Every structure is written in structure tokens, then in C-alpha cells.
A and B are shown apart, each in its own frame.
Chain A
């Protein structure tokens, strides 16, 4: 069966994780690399990183394990809108069907190579996003704060 992802991109990610001494698992059938239990250094405690590799690009996603209850998904959407407005790299997204909140950062590697620096940058951006806004996401998820207040607190930090 032909791969629907570039072996080079997958291998570059694996080599990158090995360089960083991060444990990962690879799902051969869909070209996803998963790193579980990444330390968040905030109330999130831990989150997972999924790297979805494709033919000429890959998407790095930080996934928050906790899901947003149905009645707070609108508030979460507001918070995400507020956060995304100021973001340059990557964006927060919410799956309205199950309330899962993720931070996604795509890398275009067409006609190029995925260097170690690009990998490190992607991880720094995803981890940085999670660490900076993790508390705000949790506050809104748990109904402790209004999205505007949660955002202000996160930005001030």
C-alpha cells in the first residue's frame, strides 16, 4: 500500500523527538506521531502532542485531555476567538461535537526539508501556546471565569 504521507517528514520528526529524548509512538497507518504527557507547567498539568504527517506538510497539534461541557462551548469559542486574534503562529480550535480544545500549528515542507530547527520551533510554539493559555482554557471550561477575564489574565501573565 502506498503511503499517504512523506516518509522523510515522518523520519525527520522521529529523529527530532529522539534528539530531544522525547518518547513517542508512531501510527503507521495514518502517519501520526503521538507524544503523551507533555508537561504544561500550569493547571493543565499535562497535554498530548499529535503530529499528523502528510505528503508535503504536517500539522502539530497540542491536545487538551479535558473536554468542554456542552453548555460552556460558546464561552470557550469566545475565549478562543479572543486568543486567536492576537496570535501570529498557530491557533486554538474547538471541536463543537465533543468540546475538545486543541492548539494547532501547521508546517509547510513542500519542496523543502524539515530541519531540526523547524521541529524545535513548532514544539516551542505549541508548548508555549498551551502553557500560556492553558489556565484560561481550564478556567472557562470549568466556568470559573468569564472568557474576557480569563483572556486578560492570560495576556497579563
Chain B
């Protein structure tokens, strides 16, 4: 099966980065465990279920509410010595005090402008509950946004929360989306949340109330934890002046007084452990994926290499075919070219001491020809570069004996006048060329063939080596990635153990 190398590379880099991020995140979270920080309670739930009015009833603040208004912006409610509303610009690190009308305008309108994202509204009120170091966060309702941007904002706040109040409408709650959300919340907060069934004023009577209670007992009993209690919920009416919180305020105050620190640590541990677990799972998949990739490469390598070698043997490999063509061309042209070069060298030699001079000239011409040919072949097929440094010189050494035995009878100028062989020695240049054609050129051809055979062998070997090197490189990359990934995953496991032991400590205390 073909493997998309580039996609795999990107995927591996992304996963490694994600694991590293999770390692850093878990380290930071562990540092946070020991630090004192405000207890953040996020109020969340479906849209138009009375989250803002619940906060108004609980804290006595004045978040914009009504039948139609729907919160579009995250709003924080903190303790302040006197009541005021502050607009925070987190990007510029500035604060502006604003009027209620301006705050309402900003909270109830959905701003598409990106610059508005850095703005956050903060209500400061002198509440006893808030003075205990609690910060409430009002969020936009779920399913109130086609682009799911508000959902995302709310989820981000939940991911930072220490405790959640999940708001449902009393008359209709518990659909599959709400249950899925509760399950997600159970994991994220380790059950540190309470459910509020709001708008009890819409129930027509006691019978309806009992029905709601029965339904709530059935649906919500799995959510929570031993500290908060399982299936803990309040049926409240947060609307208007005659609000009824069913003891939620008192219960919340009690929980904060007794368990705030424990809940903070518990939620932080649970959230970080969830992140670590999901990353460990993803890392494990990537680990096995990369191991399988190594197997695949090796298997494919064997197959491809085998095929390639067979192709080379058949002479079907492109590069080898090209080499054969070049070889054929060189062999066709070689005799004419070599003879031309030798004749050129010989024509300038004087008759005196012709033999010795001719012998040198032939050697030089052959050397030059061989070097030139080797240069050409090496530039065309660099894999063959180190075959032989020279062909001609070696050939001359081989055939020197033959030349020496024949040169006296052919080239000796001193015998030119002897008469008996006058006809034969009439043209010593022609005689030399005849000798070269009959002895030197065939000998050189044999040597040339040997050169080409060795070059071809070298070429094939190098092609295979290149191929194997490429695959080894890929396997090496995989190994390197696996080493890095495993190192980070071990670190992540170590951090998980630290969180686990902290949780155990917490449980013991």
C-alpha cells in the first residue's frame, strides 16, 4: 500500500507538539495546585433558561435579563467594595468603568468584530459570598449560535472553572444533548457541579412539581461525587422579585466554606488527568502507527528492492538502459576515433628513432582517449566514477610485450635500405597503422569491454545502495520520532502519577 510520506510527517510533528504541549500544560497545572487562586463558579446551560436571573437572585446583582434578552458575552462577577461595572480590555491591559446601559448593550449583542473578543465585562458587588474569594461567571447558553462560537466560549470557561452550576428549564430538560453535556461535565469536573432546575413558576401545580422531581431523580442520579452528593439538584424560581432559590444559596455557601480548596484541587486534577489520558491514548496510537510504518517500509523495501534488482537484471532499469545505449555508441565509434587520434600523433614523428617515438605517441593517444572516455562516462553516470582511473595506460602495459616483439620487424628505420624487405617496409607509417589495427585495437576493445562491465556492475550496486539508504533514512526518521515521542509520553505518565498521588493525598485528608 502506498504511504503518503508528507502527510505522515505532518501528522507526526503535530502529535509530538501536542504531547509536548500537554506535558507543559500538566506541569503548569501542577504548579497551580499549590497556588492560592479565586474559586471560579461557572453558570452554564441551554439558552434562555435563566442563568443570568439566577445569578441576580443569588448575588443581588443586576445582570441584564428579561423574556427575550439572551447573554452573548462572558460576564464575570467579583467582589468589590462598592457596586460598579468594569469593561476589561485584556489585549491592552486596561479597564474602563461603564454604565449599566452600556454593559447591557455589550452583553446582549453578538459582536462579529474580532477586536471585541478581548473585551470582558466584570460586575463588582459587595456580596458576602464573593468576599470569600469566589468569582461567578455567566456564560452564553448552548445551542444559541449557528457558528457554535458561543458554545466554544462557554466550553473554554468551563475548562477553567472550579465548580459549575448547570441550569435547566424546569418544564423541559434531560434530552440527549443535555445528558451528553452532563456526562462531559462529569469527566471534566470530576462531578463537582450542581444542577438547577429553573423557572419553577412555569409549573402548574404540585403534581407537575412531583413529576419534575421524579424525572430529575431518574436522570440526574448518576452525576456528582461523594463530596457534592450524587444527583444533587435544586428546583428554583429565579425570576422577578419573588425568587425562590430552594436553599441553593445556603448550600453553596456551605460547600464553599467547607470544601472550596478540596474541590479546586480535585477539579484541576481531574481536568489535567483527562487531558493527559486523552493525549496518552493518542500518543499510543501514534506509537503503534509509527511501528507499523517501519514494518511497512521494510516490507515494501524488500519488495521494491527485489523488483528493482530484477528490472536491472533484465536491463529494463532506465538508468541501466541509458548506460547500455551509451556503451553501444562508444563501442561503435571507438575504433575510428582511436585510430584518428593515433594517426594524428604518428604523422608528426620523424623517421629517426621512429620506433621509440611512435611507441610513446601511441601510448599517449590511447591514454588521452581512455581518460576522455572515462571522464564522459563518469559525468553521465556518476555512480561509476571510481571504476578505473585509466584504461589506456593499463592496456599499454598489457600489450607492451607484443609491441616490443614486433616493433623491430615493422618500424626499424635502419633496416629500410636492406632491400629484401624493401616493399614491405616501404611505408612504415602504413605498417604501423596496420599493426595497430590488428593488435592494439582488438586488445584495447577487450579492455574497454572489461571497463564497461565493471562500470555497469558499479552502477547497479550504487543504484541499490541509494535505494536502501533512502529507506534506511525513513526508518531512521521514524526511530527518531518514536524516541522523542516515547520520551515525552514517559514524562506525561510521570506527571499523571504525580497527579494521582496528589489525588490520593487529597482523598486521605
Contacts and interface: CB of A to CB of B under 8 A. Distances in A.
B291 A11 contact: no
B482 interface: yes
A8 B494 contact: no
B486 A113 contact: no
Interface in A1-59: 3, 6-8, 10-12, 14-15, 26, 28
Contacts of B490: 7, 10-11, 14, 26, 28
Contacts of B489: 7, 11
A8 B483 contact: yes
B504 to A, nearest CB: 15
Nearest to A25: B497
A66 interface: no
A6 B490 CA distance: 11
Given A6-B483, A113-B482, A11 B287 contact: yes
A26 B486 CA distance: 14
Contacts of B479: 8, 113
A28 B483 contact: no
Interface residues of B, number: 15
A26 B483 CA distance: 17
Given A14-B493, A15-B284, A7 B483 contact: yes
B133 to A, nearest CB: 37
Contacts of A10: 486, 490
Nearest to A10: B490
Contacts of B482: 8, 113
Interface string B475-500: 00001001101110110011000000
Give the most central of A7, A8, A10, A115: most B CB within 10 Å. A8
Contact of B291 (A3, A14, A115): A115
Contacts of A6: 483, 486
A28 B287 contact: no
B486 A11 contact: yes
Give the most central of A11, A12, A15: most B CB within 10 Å. A11
A113 B494 contact: no
Contacts of A115: 291
Nearest to A112: B294
Nearest to B480: A8
A62 B46 CA distance: 58
A26 B482 CA distance: 19
Interface in B272-292: 284, 287-288, 291
A28 B495 CA distance: 12
Contacts of B291: 113, 115
B487 A15 contact: no
A113 B294 contact: yes
Given A14-B493, A15-B284, A28-B494, A8 B294 contact: no
Interface in B126-146: none
B494 A7 contact: no
A8 B476 CA distance: 13
B487 A7 contact: yes
Interface in B239-286: 284
Give the most central of B288, B485, B490: most A CB within 10 Å. B490
A14 to B, nearest CB: 7
Contacts of B494: 28
Contacts of A113: 291, 294, 479, 482
Contacts of B493: 14, 26
Contacts of A26: 490, 493
Contacts of A12: 287, 486
B486 A7 contact: yes
A113 B483 CA distance: 11
Nearest to B490: A7
B471 to A, nearest CB: 13
Nearest to B294: A113
Contacts of A28: 490, 494
A7 B487 CA distance: 5
A10 B485 CA distance: 12
Nearest to A18: B284
A60 to B, nearest CB: 18
A14 B493 CA distance: 10
Contacts of A15: 284, 287-288
A79 to B, nearest CB: 39
A3 B488 CA distance: 13
Contacts of B486: 6-8, 10-12
Nearest to B497: A26
A4 B485 CA distance: 17
A22 to B, nearest CB: 15
Contacts of B483: 6-8
A10 B482 CA distance: 11
A6 B487 CA distance: 9
A3 B491 CA distance: 12
A5 B493 CA distance: 17
A7 B486 CA distance: 5
A113 B494 CA distance: 23
A15 B490 CA distance: 11
Contacts of B487: 3, 7
A112 B288 CA distance: 14
Given A6-B483, A14-B493, A115-B291, 8 more contacts: A3-B487, A7-B483, A8-B482, A10-B490, A11-B485, A11-B489, A26-B490, A113-B291
24 contacts: A3-B487, A6-B483, A7-B483, A7-B486, A7-B487, A7-B489, A8-B479, A8-B483, A8-B486, A11-B287, A11-B485, A11-B486, A11-B489, A12-B287, A12-B486, A14-B493, A15-B288, A26-B490, A28-B490, A28-B494, A113-B291, A113-B294, A113-B482, A115-B291
Q: Which 7 A-B residue pairings sit nearest by Cβ, starting from the closest?
A: A11-B486, A7-B486, A7-B487, A8-B486, A8-B482, A113-B291, A8-B483
